[in-house]
Structure 1
Amino acid sequence: MMLSPDQAEADLSWTQSDPETMLNGLKSTGCTSDEPAEGEERAKCKAEQPLSREEKRRRRRATAKYRSAHATRERIRVEAFNVAFAELRKLLPTLPPDKKLSKIEILRLAICYISYLNHVLDV
């Protein structure tokens, strides 16, 4: 949306406050400079408005580096999980021996097999 030079800012429906009101709001927070804050000034402005623990966590998790690291950790975890199921599957007797089983089937079969082995030892 382009403004003509003679069009007033008051005509805009999205304008909610005038620049003086915004400047007064900045002055009340201690950030009075018209120029972008740098170094200690920026730290001072941010220090006066501390972030909650949840907000800090949310901002940290929003970074691409964090998401990439999290995805890598998750892939490693799932791969280890699948390897453990494959090893357990090799220990269970089934007919045919190469039958593909789901994870829940592997767990149920392992429970039955352990019960059977306990029964054999008890007799």
Structure 2
Amino acid sequence: MKMMLSPDQTDPELMWTQSDPETVLNVIKVECMPEQSPLADGKQRALAPPALTREEKRRRRRATAKYRLAHATRERIRVEAFNVAFAELRKLLPTLPPDKKLSKIEILRLAICYISYLNHVLDV
């Protein structure tokens, strides 16, 4: 059983008791690095890059020009469909003058009032 040492006690086997930080780092690198197995042709295998988290993969994918272009295209199509739907709704609403330009919020509020009015007409 190994006992913990107090801060004033030192163990000569512990690497952090060495005064040179570079030596400590080199020891850590050597101890923590997996053994590289040589390939058949004598070359050593290169270390694989560290595994990326799902979020890091998503960020890298979204950073590509191809992804941004595709996303911008999808967004333009979505906004265009949204505007077409508002234009269709606008055609169904009575206003004076009939060609008056309305904002999207005005179209929605007018649609709510018109639906309420039609419900009232049906109830009478």
Q: TM-score, normalised to structure 1's length?
A: 0.66
Partner Cα separation in structure 2 for residue 73 and residue 102 of structure 1: 24
Structure 2 residue runs without a partner (length 5+):
1-21, 37-44
How many residue pairs were aligned? 93
Larger CA Rg, structure 1 vs 2: 2
Deviation of 1:50 after TM superposition, in Å, equals 1.0
Deviation of 1:45 after TM superposition, in Å, equals 1.0
Contact 1:30 1:45 (8 Å CA) reproduced: no
Deviation of 1:56 after TM superposition, in Å, equals 0.4
Partner Cα separation in structure 2 for residue 60 and residue 51 of structure 1: 12
Quote the residue 2:48 is aligned against: 45
Q: Deviations over 1:56-88 (max 9, x none)?
A: 000000000000000000000000000000000
Instruction: Please list, as runs of the form range in 1=range in 2, the aligned pairs for 1:17-96 lying within 5 A after superposition.
Output: 28-29=32-33, 41=45, 45-46=48-49, 49-96=50-97
Partner Cα separation in structure 1 for residue 33 and residue 60 of structure 2: 22
SS at match of 2:48: helix
Give the superposed CA RMSD: 2.6
Identity of aligned residues (%): 77
| Structure with more of its chain in helix, by fraction | 1
Deviation of 1:118 after TM superposition, in Å, equals 0.3
Partner Cα separation in structure 1 for residue 118 and residue 57 of structure 2: 52
Distance 1:64 1:28, change over 3 A: farther
